[in-house]
Amino acid sequence: MGNDRYLNRTRRQLMKAALAEFAAKGFAGARTGAIARKAGVDERMIYYCFETKEGLYREVLRSKLAQEGHIVDSREGDDFATALVKGYESCSSDLQHVRMWLWEALDTGRRKIAAEEERRALFEREKAQIRRAQLSGHLSAAIDEDLLLLVRIGLLVAPAALPQVTRLVTGMDPDDPKFRRRWSKCLRGIAALIAAGGSPPHHRLRKASEHQEHVQ
């Protein structure tokens, strides 16, 4: 029992240190020695608990995907704009996870991505949510659900993927609370336009006609 508890604690410590190391240096650049040192654990425990560096990477990612899965479930029923803004907020508050994905994109040496099935399953759930919103008429069906998901991910990840562009273009750091508020508001506006898909919903039509009267 004491041994199980020790092993569980060791695994948690290693996974936390590994997340920081993979986020900082990517899979190829990460060193198991550095992870063990950060965790305050003997390096051999990595191999005992996870077999390989790849195994450790996979477990870190799986744990992040499980968290993400809960977030996706909790978004069920949210409209496209709310899901986008919440996605951006959870992305900005978990940059280590985002960086693991960004490193993968640049690491051309890797053959097969880790936890592929879990990732695919997560995206399938998100696509299914989008599809349901389209079928129920709350989201324009003019663009396929897979591309809409990619649009959503592209928009929510942009400031983290290109922080130097964010700084040069807006004059603000992506971590700046003021920037985060502005970007959230912008995403909400853009997502509402995409969701309406060119056909204004009833209340927007009404608002537009009120505006017309006001203008006349």
Interacting residues with its own copies (CB under 8 A):
24, 26, 29, 99, 101-106, 108, 113, 116, 119-120, 123, 127, 142-144, 146-147, 149-151, 153-155, 157-166, 168-171, 182-183, 186, 189-190, 192-194, 196-200, 203-204, 208, 211-212
Q: With DSSP H G I counted as helix, E B as strand and the rest as coil, what are the percentages for the chain, rounded to 5? A: 80, 0, 20
Residue 77's H or E segment, with its range, is: none
Residue 13 burial (CB count, 10 A): 17
Residue 56 C-beta: closest distance to its own copies, Å: 19
130-133 long-range CB contacts below 8 Å, 24 or more apart?
Answer: 130/80, 133/79, 133/80
Nearer to its own copies, 135 or 169 (CB): 169
> 57 or 103: whose CB is closer to its own copies?
103
Residue 129: name the closest of 154, 151, 146 by CA: 146
Provide the minimum distance between the beta carbon of 166 and its own copies in the complex, in angstroms, as a whole number: 6
Which CB sits closer to its own copies, 1 or 105?
A: 105
Which of 45/158 has CB closer to its own copies?
158
Amino acid at 185: K
Q: How far is the CB of 136 from its own copies (least distance, A)?
A: 19
Q: How far apart are CA 84 and CA 196, in angstroms?
A: 15
